[in-house]
Amino acid sequence: MQNQIKHQEAIFQALPDLFFIILENGTILEYKTAVEAHPLQQEIVGKRIQDIMPEEIALKFNDAIRDLQKTKSIVHIDYPLTIQKQLHFYEARLVPLLETQIIINIQNITARKTVEQKLIKAKEDAEKANRSTNELLAQMSQELCSPLNGIVRYSQIIQKDKKLTELQLSAIYVIERSCNYLLKLSKDMLEFSNVEAKKEAIPQSSINLPKFLTDISELVRIQAQKKGVSFRYETTSDLPQAIYIDEKSLAQILVKLLSNAIKFTEHGGVTLKVGYIEQKTHIRFRVSDNGIGIPPEQLEAIFSPFEQLDKHKQEGTGLGLSISQKRLRLMGSDLQVESKIGKGSLFWFDLAPKQALKQQLVIKPDFPSNLQMLYEFAKQGNCSGIARWLEKMGDKNTPFFQKVNQLAQEFQHEEICNLIESKRDKK
């Protein structure tokens, strides 16, 4: 018994700051305080702890003691206290000792609180600076689009001049391609800024999932055929007919992943697999390819803004994967990747969409593949791509396609989207 008492006294003396043993009614049986740790100069044994603390803090201790009596487990509280006109912060830890006794250990956590407050302030300042940067990027992107569209338009007009030499025509093509790249960069930067600032709403609409995936596949299949690689779409389980989802974001994410897979695949193919996992609570979307693969040290960096695998050989802004990752996180998911150099890559993400009733499903008429490609060009604001695509089409002389061509020459890509949608809705 004597050894046990000595052991407890040794622990008692070693504890920092302030230490109490009290009864359940708050009466202090014993205490120890470190020098300048707490403003207790008078003899306090026999008093109630609630009587030696300011009223507001005493109420906290009363509540903590009641919680401990109910739960019979450790209770933590923290509180501020002004000592000699200086604000200090303390943390109290209440531990049950015997049936009627409680140990209270109070530590001065002012230094920790000061660091936490500085970190919070630094975080708020960084977020404010980030918001300002995003707003500047968005404004610059919007301001750049008009003059760039003008340059592209006039370059296309100049291309029709029969007096141009081959060298001059080649130079005009370079101007057009460069401006189209800058237009895409501006639009990507605007989208990135909006997603980063969470300005874009996340609309939930009911979609026919099997048809949605088929439409995406048909769109991408055209791109794969042009590149000379195979494309396959598979379902690994039965899929719900109708779900609530952010249709725009899901389409952009899948098209970006599939387009990247095709771009980095020279031989072999690209596969899209979709199906349930985890007892049908989540749907997994998988995009795999037999492409060049990604070095292990770049697997995390590829999700950073403006990051590209090969900046000298590959086109693009380096924002696509970053935007896709941010969109997925707004949707409650995360983009994952596995890759082996020379073997290919696998990207996947899981979503848990709410199923929609069939009567709530808005059925949209089919888009022919030619219309779908024009629609995608229009959504991207790529009017020169629309013009080139129209040249490849056999029915380009119909009134509808003549109107699309006219709007493309005027860089009215939003009007083209509306025109294509109205043609689809009439079917």
Structure tokens, 209: 């999932």
d(CA 273, CA 235): 6
Beta strands at 230-235 and 269-277: parallel, antiparallel or unpaired: parallel
Structure tokens, 361: 């499903």
Q: Give the per-residue SS3 of 279-331.
A: CCCEEEEEEEECCCCCCHHHCCHHHCCCCCCCCCCCCCCCCHHHHHHHHHHHC
Structure tokens, 352: 């848990």
d(CA 380, CA 392): 19
Q: What per-residue confidence (pLDDT) applies to 11?
A: 41
Q: What per-residue confidence (pLDDT) applies to 38?
A: 47
Q: What per-residue confidence (pLDDT) applies to 403?
A: 74
User: Which CA distances in Å does 31 have to 24, 44, 46?
Assistant: 15, 8, 10
d(CA 400, CA 384): 18
Q: What per-residue confidence (pLDDT) applies to 359?
A: 46
Q: What per-residue confidence (pLDDT) applies to 7?
A: 42
d(CA 222, CA 238): 26
Q: Give, in degrees to the nearest 5, the angle at Cα 284 between 209 and 193.
A: 85
> Are the C-beta atoms of 369 and 222 separated by less than 8 Å?
yes
Exposed e or buried b for every residue in 340-370, given b needs 16+ CB within 10 A? eeeebbbbbbbbebeebeeeebeeeeebeeb
d(CA 187, CA 145): 8
Q: What per-residue confidence (pLDDT) applies to 197?
A: 62
Per-residue pLDDT of the chain (427 residues; tens, 9 = 90+): 455 444 444 444 444 567 788 888 888 888 777 644 444 445 678 888 777 788 888 889 889 988 998 888 899 999 888 877 888 888 999 999 877 889 888 888 888 888 988 888 888 887 777 667 666 666 776 677 778 878 887 788 888 888 888 888 888 888 887 887 777 777 766 766 666 666 555 667 788 888 889 888 887 887 888 888 999 999 999 888 888 888 878 888 898 899 889 988 988 899 999 999 877 788 999 999 998 888 888 877 787 766 666 544 455 556 778 788 888 888 889 999 999 988 899 999 999 888 765 544 444 544 455 677 777 777 766 666 777 677 666 555 567 777 777 777 666 677 787 777 776 655 5
Please, which contacts does 96-102 make with residues 24 or more away whose CB atoms are closer than 8 Å? Answer: 96/68, 96/72, 97/21, 100/23, 100/24, 101/21, 101/22, 101/23, 101/24, 101/29, 102/21, 102/22, 102/23, 102/24, 102/65, 102/68
d(CA 403, CA 409): 10
d(CA 270, CA 29): 75
